[in-house]
Amino acid sequence: MTWEQRWHPLREEWVIIAAHRNHRPWVGETVDAAARQVPAYDPDCPLCPGNVRVSGQRNEPYTGVFVFDNDHPCVGPSAPVELTPPAGIYRNRPATGIARVVCYSPLHHTTLAELPVPQIRDLLVAWQQQYLDLGGRPEVAHVLCFENKGEVVGVSNPHPHCQIYATNFVFKTIEIEAAASERYWAEHRRVLFQEIIAAEQTDGRRILCEHGSAIGFVPYFARYAYETYVAPKERHASLADLADQEVWDLATVLREVLVRFDNLWQMSFPYVMALHQAPTDGGDYPGFHFHIQFHPPLRKPNLLKYLAGPEVGGGSFLSDTSPEVKAAELQAVPAVHWRVARGEGQNEGQP
Ligand SMILES: [Zn+2]
């Protein structure tokens, strides 16, 4: 079983080979998700409160946000350090780092879109703590927080959760974004992402919501049909630097964006969500502007955006939808979750 990092000399980036994870639990293919009623508690779920995980550890009887070390890490302290040297110019190194799981709620059947703002605020605070804890470690160059939501992006367990990879390298997208931001800062003494926000506000057509210090919009250059950014308006290198009111505003905008996603087709909207935070490699990032990016894979309810020749083969995106039209669709739906509107809201209104 191979578990290491391998250098891709043509893309100049690390590839994590985690072949030891082949036996991760998958419940999706054995269950027809559409046909069953998802329960609030599932005795077989490794994420529900009080349940025993594959590692033998028992989850706390948690009531809010719950964080634990991933039982199937792709980077971890137990990754092999004695590696077979590769041939020729090839390079490898241990897949060290820390992988964690963050459960948003003890309720198995809820989603981030259906959590009240105070609970989303609590999640943002937990992410702040994780960035400070993991990013503060000398061996950690970057903290990637992300959520894969929906079976179409490979998630079989509906329990609302995200993952954190704290790695000894900076993921490629953040590396490119940080370099572009710092170059712009050096040349103009202005923050690149704030120029993006200003251009969106000047145009106005793609803004989904604004609340105080936070904004959500479909960017002008969206690569995916419903690609959406959620950001504080002021520059902060990471979520950890936001003041309490900014965290609250961000939670409010985050929730509204997620509700609009779900309302679009009255279904739980799949996406890949990633927090874009400055590297923690000791560098100085005065031009980096923390924000959250959503990459929804669907173009229509049963139509995936396939990554094919241009994207996989060429590395550049071909979008056959207009960001203005897609933003207008999201603007047109109600800001109240359709399940709440039907009286099915699970915990709406709870403090
Ligand atoms: Zn669960």
> Please, what's the b/e burial string for 27-47 (b: 16 or more CB within 10 A of its CB; e: otherwise)?
eeeeeeeeeeeeeeebeebbb
**How many angstroms is it from 27 CA to the middle of ligand 1?**
12
Q: State residue 184's pLDDT score.
A: 98
**How many angstroms is it from 103 CA to the middle of ligand 1?**
9
* 177-185 long-range Cβ contacts below 8 angstroms, 24+ apart: 177/276, 177/288, 178/278, 178/279, 178/283, 178/285, 178/288, 181/285, 181/287, 181/288, 181/289, 182/285, 182/286, 182/287, 182/288, 183/287, 184/287, 185/286, 185/287
Rg (CA), the chain: 20
Q: State residue 231's pLDDT score.
A: 98
Alpha-carbon distance 260 to 112, whole Å?
Answer: 12
Residue 161 annotated as catalytic: yes
Q: State residue 25's pLDDT score.
A: 60
Catalytic residue among 72, 108, 142, 161: 161
Q: State residue 156's pLDDT score.
A: 81
Q: State residue 344's pLDDT score.
A: 81
**How many angstroms is it from 58 CA to the middle of ligand 1?**
13
Residues with CB under 5 Å of ion ligand 1 are: 42, 45, 47-48, 108, 159
Q: State residue 185's pLDDT score.
A: 98
pLDDT tens string, the chain, 351 residues long: the values are 789 999 999 889 999 999 887 666 655 444 444 545 789 999 999 999 999 999 999 999 999 999 999 998 999 988 999 999 999 999 999 999 999 999 999 999 999 999 999 999 999 999 999 999 999 999 999 999 999 999 999 888 999 999 999 999 999 999 999 999 999 999 999 999 999 999 999 999 999 999 999 999 999 999 999 999 999 999 999 999 999 999 999 999 999 999 999 999 999 999 999 999 999 999 999 999 999 999 999 999 888 988 999 999 999 999 989 999 999 999 999 999 999 998 886 554 443
**How many angstroms is it from 182 CA to the middle of ligand 1?**
41
